[in-house]
Amino acid sequence: MRKIPAQISERLPAAAELFAERGLNDTKIEDVAATTGIAKATLYYYFAGKEEILAFLLEDVLQHVADEVTAIVEADGTAAQRLHAVISAQLRVMAQRPAVCRALIGELGRAARMPVIADMISTAYFEPVETLLRAGAADGSLVALDKPRAVASALFGAVTISALTYLITDDALNEDLIARTIHDVVFTGIRPR
């Protein structure tokens, strides 16, 4: 894929609305061109097709997650505090791009088959969260875990699905409520005390 100029990338989120409403298969490239105001020929110059446009939009979301997570991992505080901030950051990024996230829910199977997306999730989220989990065991703010990658994956899934549940029902995403709920389940558990 070629480097996408800002004047094009800034208009592509409108395509996510189409993908979310109709699905990728039922959206024509002509529809994307009409909605975004980008000529069909220009779309084909930069993208092989609709799947590449979806991949670009998902990569954009993941890059924002990566930027936020990297800053948090490198910040001060206990690993537990930073992990809570990572959860909040992922929710914030998803809330800022609801159409892309709604499109993702309809195209999860397709997105899972995009190697670049799987690689970005690993780099943007799994690896830094694994680092935090290990740091938490070292600083005493978290327990030592046998399989931090599995825990990172479970956290990513919990946050993603919680956010998507709100976004597909057109409810406003209450980032604080979801972050607190996930924090309580992760750090306190659901067993009676």
> Which of 70, 80, 89 lies closest to 134, judged by CA?
80
Do 93 and 125 meet the contact criterion of CB atoms below 8 Å apart? no
> Rounded to an integer, what distance in angstroms lies between the CA atom of residue 172 and that of residue 193?
32
pTM for the complete prediction?
0.86
Q: What domains are defined for the chain?
A: 54-187 (1.10.357.10)
Mean per-residue pLDDT over the chain, rounded: 90
pLDDT at 170 (0 to 100): 66
> Rounded to an integer, what distance in angstroms lies between the CA atom of residue 92 and that of residue 79?
20
pLDDT at 146 (0 to 100): 92
The confidence band for 132, taking pLDDT boundaries of 50, 70 and 90, is very high
Q: How many residues does the chain have?
A: 193
pLDDT at 191 over 80: no
pLDDT at 187 over 80: yes
pLDDT at 32 over 70: yes
Percent of the chain with pLDDT over 70: 94
pLDDT at 193 (0 to 100): 62
SS3 of the chain: helix, strand, coil, percent, to 5: 75, 0, 25
Span 155-179, average pLDDT: 86
pLDDT at 90 (0 to 100): 93
> Rounded to an integer, what distance in angstroms lies between the CA atom of residue 177 and that of residue 164?
14
Q: Model confidence over 45-54: pLDDT tens digits?
A: 999 999 899 9
pLDDT at 171 over 80: no
The confidence band for 167, taking pLDDT boundaries of 50, 70 and 90, is confident
pLDDT at 138 over 90: yes
